[in-house]
Amino acid sequence: MNEYGEFGVIGKSVPKKDGKVKATGEAKFGADITLPRMLYGKLLRNGQHPHARISGIDTSRAEKLKGVRAVVTGKDFPGILYGNFAHTRDYLPLAIDRVRYIGEEVAAVAADDEDTAQEAISLIRVEYEPLAAVFDPEEAMKDGAPLLYDNKPHNISSSSNFGFGETEGGFRESDWVREETFKTQNIKHGMIEPHASVGLWEAEKITLWACKQSPYIVWRQMAMALGIPPSKVRIVQTYVGAGNSGGKQEALPMDLCAVMLSKKTGRPVRFVHTMEDVLTIGHMRHSYKINLKLGLKKDGSLQAVQIRAIADGGAHSSIGQLSIFLLGMFSLAAYRIPNFKYDVFRIYTNKQWPGALRGHCGPQARFAFEALMDMAADDLGLDHFDIRKKNALHPGDVTPNGFKITTCNLTEALDKVKEVSGWDSKKGKLPKNRGIGLAVSAFPTGSNIMGHTACSAMLKVQEDGTVALQTGATDVGQGCDTVLPMIAAEVLGIQAEDVSFAMIDTDVTPVDPGTWGSRVTFYGGNAVKIAAMDARNQIAEVAADLLEAKESDLVFHNRRIYIKGNPDRGMDLEKAIRHCQNKLGRPIMGRGTYNAPADTVEFSVGKGNVAPTYSFYAQTAEVEVDPETGKFDILSVVTAHDGGRELNPMLVEGQLVGSFVMHQGQATFEGIERLDGQVLNPNFLDYKMVSSADLPDNLSFNSVGVPDPEGPFGAKEAGEGASAPALASIANAVSDAIGVRIKSLPITPDKILEALKEKG
């Protein structure tokens, strides 16, 4: 920042730093890692039994195949259950005596080449004794239903049950009360980089090179599953393909098999998932049945909210305890809600398991909530904007569960989308079969839930005036490889190109929660800012001496340090660094750690300020339905967002577009299809996603944010949050167009035609 408060880097659309290496092909993704003497691994999956006992595994024919170096089964591991939270540990590296879903890993092979490994897999004989399976969560909760885990009655994988205020009283005092049930489906991340990892077991260290978005989660889980201290494990992050969006958080069977096969062979072993693997095994979005009851006064003010939700948990817990908790949190944000009751259950079924996915249950929560808000407005004769403004959160609000709202331009966002979308000229005035829908949402900036939350950064300012930055943050396409360097650059008066961004190596880089929950720019950015300020102060002390000035009068700008008001009295940063390092023996290293002023919130209590700040979104969607085919087009989408200051508007817009479009898919046609627990569409021909041809003609994003006082240079969550209103705005628009409410996703032509038929 110069002496006039003008930023040198912040706020500029600096191209993403990895553009060049990704364009040249130099960027090494998971499957690109090749080590000398490396073997190729393949997994044997349970191919047909949704639930079965394993009575025997015969690997002898596979072991005898020429070129096969080792075979492992579940018994090669210590048999320790691992997972995310103490009460939800239910993963094993390989199934031992039971399989619980089709696709579950049963054995693995390492061979000289992939074909041999694949052939060896086909030679392994597993004897299964089928068990009764259960696919519907509500069925699974009933007495007498088959249990997936003997110690989990009613197949409850996890739950959250809490309330604030007097919901019953709230409903009694309401003029309008309605309860509706909404259903959402499983969708996949649709990542185009498959999971890939290379394992190497050595005397002193077990190393995994892998495309992981949260290397330290994998670090802990691998140590847990192997029964060793985490410091014996080293995770080296490769480039992570964009679009993993929550799908590369955890240690997978392939990771643990890679290191165990390496232990057996003394050689590195690489696994790469096929797209069928990616699309059948876990880490999809939770499907929900959400029973939502709202109570409002005639003036539109919310009096009470009651939610009972059931999530289909599939065969494993994954991070699902957090997911179901967040559904409640997303229901609590955006509006002033005096009374709130929440009961959610995550139920085991004999299916592939869900976990985190972009938006992480915000979209589903808003899909239900915003539908009922429209119904209330319509029934009470209120304008869709007015009812939302009536209830909208404002700066200074504290929600009953404890969210402290600091910066909040939700009202401004509503005004903005109303204006830009031309709502007044459209709502109720559109031609037949066209409709416009509105939704709002809020999004926490990070969340203090998963144990360790702080971020750290280390940087060294080098003798050529550049910075080598180390953080715990992983770029997964979202742009922290560029934004975190921008923050360091701004503080030190250099450019983003002057700052290198280290990939994660758990032996070296700072411990970090990982990339999830829209936390990186805020937490990691603040850590980087503190580290850069630390370095700047060290330099300024010396430069002030050399320039005969006060430290507080120094400006760091344009790779120079000069005296405020006197740009000629200055020196190159490079020269100052050389002086510090070579003359004074003070190499410049900055260090920063940041933890947000937020509460650690317990899943069972739900009370507390989960994030240091929140972002707010308002969104309209306009659709046109073809009553003959039941298809609909999304004509335009207008979003206004308060995401604080946009540190790099181009990267923010990229995230906003991606977040919307991913949910356009969920709203319109995407979804995992199954028959008796078998995925029917495990490839990108049958599993269709939104492509560029499907994009709305008009996607308009409008920032109404103001700098957040706690965020680094005023940033807060900006990007992922655009996922939260997307299902709701589209569904509300369709409802407006056809006059019927479709309460389950996706809104397929069949459902529209049936609704139109029922309507007559």
- What's the 3-state SS for 175-211? CEEEEEEEEECCCCCCCCCCCEEEEEECCCCEEEEEC
Binding positions for its own copies, 623-682, rule CB under 8 A: none
Q: Which residues touch 303 (CB under 8 Å, ≥6 apart)?
A: 170, 171, 173, 174, 295, 296, 297, 338, 339
Query: Which lies closer to its own copies via its Cβ, residue 387 or residue 502?
Result: 502
Closest by Cα among 368, 205, 156, 195 to 274: 195
DSSP string, 627-644: TTT--EEEEEEEEEEE-B
693 binds its own copies (CB under 8 A): no
Among 15, 67, 146, 230, binds its own copies (CB under 8 A): 230
Distance in Å, CB of 582 to its own copies, minimum: 4
Query: Which lies closer to its own copies via its Cβ, residue 69 or residue 100?
Result: 69
Distance in Å, CB of 490 to its own copies, minimum: 18
Report the distance separating Cα 364 and Cα 286, nearest Å: 9
Single out the segment in contact with its own copies by CB under 8 A; choices: 158-166, 222-230, 367-375, 750-758: 222-230
Report the distance separating Cα 254 and Cα 248, nearest Å: 12
Single out the segment in contact with its own copies by CB under 8 A; choices: 305-313, 445-453, 607-615, 705-713: 445-453
Distance in Å, CB of 593 to its own copies, minimum: 6
Binding positions for its own copies, 379-398, rule CB under 8 A: none
Query: Which lies closer to its own copies via its Cβ, residue 36 or residue 565?
Result: 36
Closest by Cα among 117, 119, 36 to 70: 117
Query: Which lies closer to its own copies via its Cβ, residue 364 or residue 509?
Result: 509
Report the distance separating Cα 33 and Cα 484, nearest Å: 26
Query: Which lies closer to its own copies via its Cβ, residue 193 or residue 736?
Result: 193
Beta carbons of 436 and 665 less than 8 angstroms apart: no
Report the distance separating Cα 532 and Cα 378, nearest Å: 53
> Applying CB under 8 A, what is the total number of residues that bind its own copies?
48
Distance in Å, CB of 757 to its own copies, minimum: 56
Q: Where are the beta strands (DSSP E) in 60-195?
A: 68-73, 98-99, 105-111, 125-130, 156-164, 176-184
Report the distance separating Cα 343 and Cα 374, nearest Å: 23
Beta carbons of 652 and 676 less than 8 angstroms apart: no
* Other CB atoms within 10 A of residue 310 CB: 22
Closest by Cα among 289, 133, 52 to 675: 133
581 binds its own copies (CB under 8 A): yes
Query: Which lies closer to its own copies via its Cβ, residue 236 or residue 742?
Result: 236
Query: Which lies closer to its own copies via its Cβ, residue 130 or residue 451?
Result: 451
Max distance between CA atoms of the chain, in angstroms, equals 86
463 binds its own copies (CB under 8 A): yes
Among 453, 619, 639, 723, binds its own copies (CB under 8 A): 453
Tokens of 626: 């073809």
DSSP state of 16: P
Report the distance separating Cα 190 and Cα 707, nearest Å: 33
Among 58, 202, 545, 686, binds its own copies (CB under 8 A): 202
- Strand 39-45 relative to strand 269-272: parallel, antiparallel, unpaired? parallel
Single out the segment in contact with its own copies by CB under 8 A; choices: 87-95, 563-571, 587-595, 680-688: 587-595
Closest by Cα among 47, 49, 80 to 222: 80
Distance in Å, CB of 529 to its own copies, minimum: 16
204 binds its own copies (CB under 8 A): yes
Closest by Cα among 160, 145, 159, 137 to 288: 137
264 binds its own copies (CB under 8 A): no
26 binds its own copies (CB under 8 A): yes
466 binds its own copies (CB under 8 A): yes
* Other CB atoms within 10 A of residue 560 CB: 18
Single out the segment in contact with its own copies by CB under 8 A; choices: 46-54, 112-120, 225-233, 396-404: 225-233
Query: Which lies closer to its own copies via its Cβ, residue 270 or residue 283?
Result: 270
458 binds its own copies (CB under 8 A): yes
Among 55, 60, 231, 698, binds its own copies (CB under 8 A): 231
Among 2, 301, 558, 593, binds its own copies (CB under 8 A): 593
Single out the segment in contact with its own copies by CB under 8 A; choices: 41-49, 287-295, 382-390, 594-602: 594-602
Among 585, 685, 750, 760, binds its own copies (CB under 8 A): 585
Among 229, 396, 431, 565, binds its own copies (CB under 8 A): 229
The position carrying tokens 């691992």 is 82
Single out the segment in contact with its own copies by CB under 8 A; choices: 319-327, 351-359, 384-392, 500-508: 500-508
Single out the segment in contact with its own copies by CB under 8 A; choices: 228-236, 409-417, 601-609, 656-664: 228-236
Among 49, 286, 366, 460, binds its own copies (CB under 8 A): 460
291 binds its own copies (CB under 8 A): no
Among 308, 586, 674, 751, binds its own copies (CB under 8 A): 586
Single out the segment in contact with its own copies by CB under 8 A; choices: 170-178, 327-335, 377-385, 496-504: 496-504
Single out the segment in contact with its own copies by CB under 8 A; choices: 350-358, 425-433, 457-465, 711-719: 457-465
34 binds its own copies (CB under 8 A): yes
Q: Which amino acid is at 459?
A: L
114 binds its own copies (CB under 8 A): no
Report CA-CA distances (Å) from 369 to 291, 307, 441. Answer: 10, 10, 10
Binding positions for its own copies, 503-532, rule CB under 8 A: 505, 507-511
CA 482 to chain centre: 19
122 binds its own copies (CB under 8 A): no
Binding positions for its own copies, 131-150, rule CB under 8 A: none
**Sequence-ordered alpha helix ranges (H) in 211-352:** 215-226, 253-265, 275-280, 320-332
- Strand 340-348 relative to strand 156-164: parallel, antiparallel, unpaired? antiparallel
The position carrying tokens 């049950």 is 161
Report the distance separating Cα 15 and Cα 109, nearest Å: 42
Distance in Å, CB of 586 to its own copies, minimum: 6
Report the distance separating Cα 274 and Cα 271, nearest Å: 10
Single out the segment in contact with its own copies by CB under 8 A; choices: 488-496, 578-586, 611-619, 689-697: 578-586
Single out the segment in contact with its own copies by CB under 8 A; choices: 325-333, 551-559, 589-597, 653-661: 589-597
Distance in Å, CB of 598 to its own copies, minimum: 9
Report the distance separating Cα 136 and Cα 152, nearest Å: 16
Report the distance separating Cα 286 and Cα 146, nearest Å: 21
Distance in Å, CB of 233 to its own copies, minimum: 10
Distance in Å, CB of 266 to its own copies, minimum: 9
- Strand 588-594 relative to strand 105-111: parallel, antiparallel, unpaired? unpaired
Among 470, 478, 655, 678, binds its own copies (CB under 8 A): 470
**Sequence-ordered alpha helix ranges (H) in 44-135:** 60-64, 114-123
- Strand 560-563 relative to strand 269-272: parallel, antiparallel, unpaired? unpaired
Report the distance separating Cα 162 and Cα 340, nearest Å: 8
Binding residues for its own copies, rule: CB under 8 A, are: 20-21, 24, 26, 34, 36, 202-204, 223, 229-231, 451-454, 456, 458, 460, 462-464, 466, 468, 470, 498, 500, 502, 505, 507-511, 581-587, 589, 591, 593, 595-596, 600
